[in-house]
Structure 1
Amino acid sequence: MNVALDALIAARVVPVVVLDDAAAAEPLADALVAGGIRAIEITIRTPAGLDALASLASRDDLIVGAGTVTSRRELADVRAAGARFAVSPGFDADLVYAARETDVLPVPGVGSATEAQAARRAGLDHVKVFPAGALGGLPFIRALHGPFPEMRFMPSGGVDQTKAAEYLADPAIFAVSGSWMVPAEAIRDGDFEMITTLARATMAALDA
């Protein structure tokens, strides 16, 4: 199995982070690790995204990936910045094949049986489901898992601490992603203690 995928499965929770200031990346990562979280997805929706990603890439206490990767150019950029995995909102076979030619793990989003089948045809068995909440949550994923029993899913969108525990109790789920433990106001205010508290509460809920 892919080393990056192993790390995501072990982490279970993947915070989705939007940063306007790359200088916040290190204290944010420290806060997450202190709370027991071992993965982070830095979106590249802001100008600070790539610099933030690069500043964390050499850390060995969490796996660092990129979010909202939608083109070959963006894939090349996040790979150069040190991303170990690249998450996309939707499924793009061309992007998946491009990623599989590199050492970056592709984690595309799917939202239908058609897209899950296309992902399987592209050789993937671990994908994101987005937007999970709007699509129906766990019942939808269980229905999708029926015809694709070899696939595992990472719900994103509408996930919170309570839903995270519910999702991860199901064998169809390999991880969950979301931003409930990294609220924008806490990042903006530099309240990294709050982020550690939320991360710790999240991991405690999973192990309860």
Structure 2
Amino acid sequence: MNLLEKLQTMKVVPVIAMENASNAAKLAKVLVDNGLPCAEVTFRTPAAKEAIINMRKAYPDMLLGAGTVLTTKHVDDAIEAGVDFIVSPGFNPNIVKYSQQRKVEIIPGVNNPSLVEQALEMGIETLKFFPAEPSGGVAMLKSLSAVYPVNFMPTGGVNEANINNYLTLPSVLACGGTWMVPNALIENEQWEDIAVLVKTVVEQLRKTVV
């Protein structure tokens, strides 16, 4: 499967800010064992690169992305760590070009028509819709999807209460979310509690009609 197909299969991508890279493999085990073998590890913390390396080493087949990619160094670090794709919160043409030169798939963030058109001009057809809820949510996505032949991964304000509303849109491949991987539970190594949250998400997704 290509990246788009993998994302569509997952339906939701846990978005994680790892403070302690030594917890990465443990968290990956919880995700894999409970039916959600994917993660977007954000470069919001210094531990991000090492966390991705640890996840990749422990679970070579896991779908791994790097999030909050803001610089060319982030791109380089993500590639060195072994990611399948990178995600940026906004649309930075320089980061998009550099990622394309490095031959890593990038899902840049957009939230309006002008940014979607810039993405299309650069050959990008899979986009992060961010911040999803503050930017108009499902209604805005419906409007964008009526005009542009692109796929979206909404992130930002997506949760267990509204994710089905997003996933029922044909243009939405998957959603990014944090509610099943709360930072506090990760830091306290409450793996059983995270497992319950992940299982709940997976069960909910099985009932979703896309």
Q: TM-score when scaled to structure 1?
A: 0.94
Q: What pairs up with 1:74-113 in 2 under 5 angstroms? A: 74-113=74-113
Q: Deviations over 1:87-142 (max 9, x none)?
A: 10000122112112234210100011000110111101110000001011111111
The question of whether the paired residues in 1 share the 8 Å contact of 2:4 and 2:173 is answered with no
Question: Offset at 1:143?
Answer: 0.7
Question: Offset at 1:194?
Answer: 1.3
Counterpart of 1:165, as a letter, is: N
* Residue of structure 1 equivalent to 2:193: 194
* Residue of structure 1 equivalent to 2:126: 126
* Residue of structure 1 equivalent to 2:160: 161
Counterpart of 1:46, as a letter, is: T
How far apart, in 2, do the equivalents of 1:57 and 1:100 lie? Answer: 22
- Give the secondary-structure state (helix, strand or coil) at the position aligned to 1:146: helix
How far apart, in 2, do the equivalents of 1:3 and 1:135 lie? Answer: 29
Residue 182, structure 1, aligned to residue 181, structure 2: yes
| Unaligned stretches of 5+ residues in structure 2 | none
Work out the percentage of aligned pairs sharing the same amino acid.
33
Name whichever of 49-58 and 137-146 sits farther off. Answer: 49-58
The question of whether the paired residues in 2 share the 8 Å contact of 1:89 and 1:109 is answered with yes
* Residue of structure 1 equivalent to 2:7: 8
The question of whether the paired residues in 1 share the 8 Å contact of 2:11 and 2:205 is answered with no
How far apart, in 2, do the equivalents of 1:5 and 1:101 lie? Answer: 20
Counterpart of 1:81, as a letter, is: A
The question of whether the paired residues in 2 share the 8 Å contact of 1:162 and 1:205 is answered with no
Counterpart of 1:105, as a letter, is: E
Once superposed, what is the RMSD of the aligned Cα atoms? 1.3
* Residue of structure 2 equivalent to 1:115: 115
How far apart, in 2, do the equivalents of 1:179 and 1:159 lie? Answer: 8
Q: Deviations over 1:41-93 (max 9, x none)?
A: 01111111111011112423421111110111210111111111111000012
Question: Offset at 1:186?
Answer: 0.7
* Residue of structure 2 equivalent to 1:50: 49
How far apart, in 1, do the equivalents of 2:114 and 2:195 lie? Answer: 39
How far apart, in 2, do the equivalents of 1:60 and 1:22 lie? Answer: 17
The question of whether the paired residues in 2 share the 8 Å contact of 1:24 and 1:187 is answered with yes
* Residue of structure 2 equivalent to 1:205: 204
Report the count of equivalent residues.
Answer: 206
How far apart, in 2, do the equivalents of 1:159 and 1:90 lie? Answer: 17
Q: Deviations over 1:13-41 (max 9, x none)?
A: 11110111001101101111122112100
